[in-house]
Amino acid sequence: MFRSKIFALAGMALASASLGVAQYARPAIAKGVNLEQKLNAPVPLDLVFHDETGRSAPLRTYFGDKPVILELVYFRCPSLCPMSMHETVMSLRRVPLKPGRDYNVVVVSFDPSDTPAMATEKKAYYAKEFGKPGFDSGWHFLTGSQNAISRLTSAVGFGYNWDPTTKQFIHAGGIMVATPEGKMSRYFYGINYAPADLRMALVEASEHRISSPVDYVLLFCFHYDALQGKYSLVILNVLKIAGVITLLVLGGLIYLLMRYEKKPKERTTWKEARRVG
């Protein structure tokens, strides 16, 4: 009886989770938004961008002798990009490697309307967060033309869309690591980049090694439509992840309860009370 109730509860939870995932399908405007793992694919190093000072430079300027962390954002992003950038800064701050000496970070805006002046502002802001030597020489904030942006995003597997209604980009969160010669070596997803994993990825990339594909869950940046009462893609993906965690916790609880049920019950031995007098 007890076991039947447990399985019934698990079945109801699984059905509810499945219904929740099915109910909130990806909107049509998010079609093509992805971060595809194009491992070993070459970065088009001939593409010319502008650094934060306004100077034109090909991407190969930042490659050649050290691995590169590549992060695609846009400087006006109100939510996911700042969170991803903050996590990148905080994680690399804890990595015992020095930017400019052991690796480079190349932050490229995929919004062609972003300017070098905006890049300068962002670099100054994150330099304060990083608070360690090497940031100025090792971190580079680039802007460019639509043609250069399109070629770069296509080469590294970064798919995004423009929403004319909200005037915001729909995109996924993540960063990439490339080898010194510009081959895609590893992808990180979401906004949580473990320092130990980042260090290992940089070491492997410095040795010209290409990592294996990893399982991932995409975290999207998408506007919440208050008029229609629809959740944003960021919230939907968080809800899906929370649903999976709930199922795992429930499964663990069921396992523990079933083990407890199977334990032999202690027998109580009654002893006759000794008479007094």
Is residue 18 pLDDT above 50, yes or no? no
The set of residues, in sequence order, having a beta carbon less than 8 Å from that of 77 and lying 6+ positions away, is 168, 169, 221
Q: What is the pLDDT of residues 97-150, one digit of tens each?
A: 999 999 999 999 999 999 999 999 999 999 999 999 999 999 999 999 999 999
The mean predicted confidence, pLDDT, of the chain is 81
Identify which of 24, 78, 34 has the alpha carbon closest to the alpha carbon of residue 172. 34
pLDDT band at 2 (very low <50, low <70, confident <90, very high): very low
d(CA 201, CA 206): 9
Higher-confidence residue of 269 and 166: namely 166
Least confident of 1-10, 31-40, 64-73, 249-258: 1-10
Residues 206-219 have pLDDT tens digits of 999 999 887 655 45
